[in-house]
Structure 1
Amino acid sequence: MEPDEKFNADIELVSRIKAIPTILDVVCLTTGLGFAAVARVTEDSWIACGVRDTIEFGLQPGGELKLDTTICNDIRQTRKLVVIDNVVDDPEFCNHPTPAMYGFQSYISVPITLPDGTFFGTLCGIDAKPIRLNTPATIGMFTLYAEMIGFQLQAHLNLTASAAILLDERRTSELREQFIAVLGHDLRNPLAAIGGGVELIAKTPLNDRAAKIVPMVQSSIARMAGLIDNVMDFARGRLGTGLTLTRAKWDVASLIGQVVSELQSSQPDRLIQTELGLDGPVDCDGSRLSQLVSNLVANALTHGAAESPVHVTAIAKNGILVICVSNAGEQIPPAALERLFEPFERGAMKPSQQGLGLGLYIATQIAKAHGGALSADSTPEETRFVFRMPLT
């Protein structure tokens, strides 16, 4: 059946969580299940929003089952998981009509609940053969992933709601800033739990495909952690406390070289040229300054012309540290250039880009915390970002 139009938003919402296909792969590969799905379950509908199907069960995202024929309907009411290793041996479900109707012997379904307590649906899996699913490891894995999905759904819903609210200038500041501060803190605990769960999975014997998927999940976790850090830096900057610095004497040339080396290794097809004319250490927060340079160079790699190098220069002149990052490519329109360092603006100009559009805003906050400034200019030939900081 085709999904009701009112569920299109739920299907699209789930599709925006890039980790879900990997999660479904992992749960199937580690358990042996042939079908797994993220389902939206309401009081009158069951809609598949994300699917992995190797047993030709026949459902794709948007596919619908009659709610009263599913065990997920019971889970919606009880908010409790259901695990079946073998239907014929299960005293509660051996005579239940659902297994016979859909032809499965093993089954697991865990409720997906948003942090605000709203029931969204289930993370579920089935197979035509009996499978040992009722173990602490399997139940723990499904529970962790369901919690992660719930937090991600809430985050996307809140960000969407915040974006709508931000259109009204009278309510811009307080709602978004308080939300992001809470969001950043509340995401850390489940992310840590997920990371621990993946580490345990990585230590178990895995087939070749699973061994490739686990690093993908770990990479996604690292990216989520980076996004949370950006969100928290944004909150600190906007809530008035500002970014905190731990200043010491740092070899800035070496810091920039390390940042460039890391970004170059991640994009070996791109060329980054450096010219570092610095002698002696600089009094600064090395970690924050590295973050600033990393944000600028990563921005240049993302938005600059792929066939042209990114240039990074650093000099100390007349008591001023000057770091410049430039790239060839499409000129930034003057109207956009005026808003470039505002939060979320970069993502607004290129919606297809991943991330929250906070990198340049955070870079300006790092510059200000050092008593310096970050500026930008853009011509048809070159876009240039310049950080200036007094050395005394």
Structure 2
Amino acid sequence: MVKRVTGLGFAAVARVTDRYWVACAIDDSIQYGLAPGDKVDVATTICHEISQHKQPVIFGHASEHPVFATHPTPRLFGFESYISIPIIRANGEFFGTLCAVDRTPSAIETPEVLENLTLFSQLIAANLDMQDSLDLSQRELLDERETSRLRDQFIAVLGHDLRTPLSAIRMSADLIDSRVTERSTRKLVHAIQTSTQRMGLLIENVLDFARGRLGGGIPVRRTHVDDLQSELHRVIEEVRRSHPAASIQQSIDIPTAIDCDRVRVGQLLCNLLGNAVTHGDTHFPVTVRAAVEHNLLVISVTNQGQPIEPERLGLLFQPYTRSEKSGYGGGLGLGLYIAAEIVKGHGGSISVVSTAADGTCFKATLPLHGVPHLSDHDMAE
């Protein structure tokens, strides 16, 4: 475009430093002898002067020009017509020049030529600024990803290391519970057991979250399970012991065998039920239902109380999402996220509906016999 606008045979974008004129891009139809990457001593060029006064230089007939007829640069490089426009970055930094030359005279000293090449130089400067901004954003993104990766690794290591002392506390509490008879002492022991049980759940949630972030999702190992009902009953009783003030009603009817991860489905119910008894109105019971409907396992947990704001419903299954009313000790905000990941690992779906009339209901739907493997072609379609 520069050659077309000026009619000159050589055009270049150059980086101009204190020492060198460095060719960045060149279009040469007069075999001027320069290629991208070539360096020229900047003191021998007119661009050296442009870097100081930051003004365009343009002339069409050097040998007859009152200033450049005696200037050493046209004679050194053998050109008659010349135009060079400074490239100025948004921060005022001088980058280099957009220039064109030819060995023959040319009528280029017109406002149109100067205006067009000035616009071209501004476009180059804007592109350089945009590229720098993009590079900075990419570096910041990489730094943030690395920070996130290290944070997740730290969480995983911390959660793993907390298991050992917690197991010791649990075993000690169980041993004391088997030996004491005083009611007040047993009450304290039961408080310790309840707290360690809650701590264990928190640690497992943290570990699962870290595994999911570091390894592409929470692992789900599906097997043929005949006694899922007993696992769900066990979870409900465990939550009852941890929340003695809560009333839990249950309807568990799973008459068929299911291909699932028994432990993970129990964890799914534990997280949903724990969330319900924590945030529900204690004057009303929490209802747990599990049944097989249309070759699907459906698990739902419903509690009464203040409905969840519509704008928050879509955020509930994201990590670290907590109710503003939870306060200190309300959990890490990972339970529902992990529940959703467990459902996802089974190829199922999870949803929530919350109204003042019917309460808040979380429903997880899982296929009974797994999800068939999809080929890349099937996934593409």
Q: Normalising by the residue count of structure 2, what TM-score does the alignment of the two structures yield?
A: 0.51
- Please name the residue that 2:313 is paired with: 337
Per-residue CA deviation, residues 63-93 of structure 1 (Å, 9 max, x unaligned), is: xxxxxxxxxxxxxxxxxxxxxxxxxxxxxxx
* Residue 322 (structure 1) shift: 1.5
Tell me, yes or no, if structure 1 residue 259 matches structure 2 residue 204. Answer: no
- Please name the residue that 2:250 is paired with: 274
Output the aligned Cα RMSD.
3.2
* Residue 332 (structure 1) shift: 0.8
- Please name the residue that 1:321 is paired with: 297
Partner Cα separation in structure 2 for residue 265 and residue 203 of structure 1: 17
Do the aligned partners of residues 351 and 174 (structure 1) sit closer, same or farther apart at CA in structure 2, a change above 3 Å counting? Answer: farther
- Please name the residue that 1:299 is paired with: 275
**What percent identity do the matched residue pairs reach?**
45
* Residue 309 (structure 1) shift: 2.0
1:80-159 equivalence runs, <5 A: none
1:1-392 equivalence runs, <5 A: 173-194=148-169, 213-241=188-216, 242-346=218-322, 350-381=326-357, 382-392=359-369
Q: Secondary structure at the match of 1:351?
A: coil
Per-residue CA deviation, residues 162-192 of structure 1 (Å, 9 max, x unaligned), is: xxxxxx9777732431221111122233334
- Please name the residue that 1:149 is paired with: none
Q: Size of the alignment, in residue pairs?
A: 225
Do the aligned partners of residues 373 and 185 (structure 1) sit closer, same or farther apart at CA in structure 2, a change above 3 Å counting? Answer: same
The answer to whether the 8 Å contact 1:347/1:353 transfers is no
Per-residue CA deviation, residues 12-53 of structure 1 (Å, 9 max, x unaligned), is: xxxxxxxxxxxxxxxxxxxxxxxxxxxxxxxxxxxxxxxxxx
Partner Cα separation in structure 2 for residue 276 and residue 208 of structure 1: 34
Do the aligned partners of residues 278 and 226 (structure 1) sit closer, same or farther apart at CA in structure 2, a change above 3 Å counting? Answer: closer
Partner Cα separation in structure 1 for residue 290 and residue 182 of structure 2: 48
Q: Secondary structure at the match of 1:376?
A: strand
Partner Cα separation in structure 2 for residue 342 and residue 323 of structure 1: 20
Q: Secondary structure at the match of 1:340?
A: coil
- Please name the residue that 1:146 is paired with: none
Letter in 1 for 2:157: V
Task: Return 5+ residue gaps in structure 2 as ranges.
Answer: 1-142, 370-381
Per-residue CA deviation, residues 109-161 of structure 1 (Å, 9 max, x unaligned), is: xxxxxxxxxxxxxxxxxxxxxxxxxxxxxxxxxxxxxxxxxxxxxxxxxxxxx
Q: Secondary structure at the match of 2:350?
A: strand
The answer to whether the 8 Å contact 2:222/2:259 transfers is no
Letter in 2 for 1:370: H
Q: Which segment drifts farther, 245-254 or 298-307? A: 245-254
Bigger Rg, which one = 2
Q: Which segment drifts farther, 183-192 or 304-313? A: 183-192
* Residue 388 (structure 1) shift: 0.8
Do the aligned partners of residues 258 and 209 (structure 1) sit closer, same or farther apart at CA in structure 2, a change above 3 Å counting? Answer: closer
Letter in 2 for 1:270: A
Q: Normalising by the residue count of structure 1, what TM-score does the alignment of the two structures yield?
A: 0.50
Per-residue CA deviation, residues 292-346 of structure 1 (Å, 9 max, x unaligned), is: 1121112111111222222222232222221111122111112221110112212
* Residue 350 (structure 1) shift: 2.3
Letter in 2 for 1:360: L
Partner Cα separation in structure 2 for residue 203 and residue 274 of structure 1: 30
Partner Cα separation in structure 1 for residue 286 and residue 179 of structure 2: 42
Letter in 2 for 1:240: G
Do the aligned partners of residues 206 and 391 (structure 1) sit closer, same or farther apart at CA in structure 2, a change above 3 Å counting? Answer: closer
Letter in 2 for 1:388: T
